[in-house]
Structure 1
């Protein structure tokens, strides 16, 4: 991913926009990533993608997810997996 500073965005806006046609572009401020510029098509594609994060109410959790959760809770309750 290409990266430009906010100053670059002001001084080289054409170059920044051209880079955004090829893929998302990071915009930095004082060396820290603050914004991402992308085409509307890229943004729309991201918005339509399924979000893998799900929330389930008690009793609605699919059995395979519930089994994974139960296994992890049991492992952690035995003190396994903690860093001292």
Structure 2
């Protein structure tokens, strides 16, 4: 990922924007990353990306996920999978 300072953003805005067309660009202040510049399309794709982490309330867990948990709980209750 390319990196530019806030000063670069002011003085070389065209170069910074051109770099952002190819991928996200770090914008730094005093050597520390403070912002990321990206195209609207890149941002929209990032926002639409599904987060694989899910939380379910009791009774709402999909059957296929509940079956995985039940199988793993059974395996562990039989002592399988522990490193001795």
Residue number in structure 2 paired with 1:77: none
Measured on the aligned residues, the alpha-carbon RMSD in Å equals 2.4
Structure 2 gap segments, 5+ residues each: 78-82
Q: Give, in angstroms, the shift of residue 54 of structure 1.
A: 1.4
User: Matches of 2:31 and 2:72 in 1, distance apart?
Assistant: 39
Query: How does the TM-score come out when normalised to structure 2?
Result: 0.71
User: Cα distance, 1:59 vs. partner?
Assistant: 3.5
Q: Pick the structure with greater CA Rg.
A: 2
- Distance between the aligned counterparts of 1:39 and 1:4, measured in 2? 16
Please state if 1:54 is matched with 2:54.
yes
What TM-score do you get using the length of structure 1 for normalisation?
A: 0.71
Distance 1:19 1:3 in 2: 9
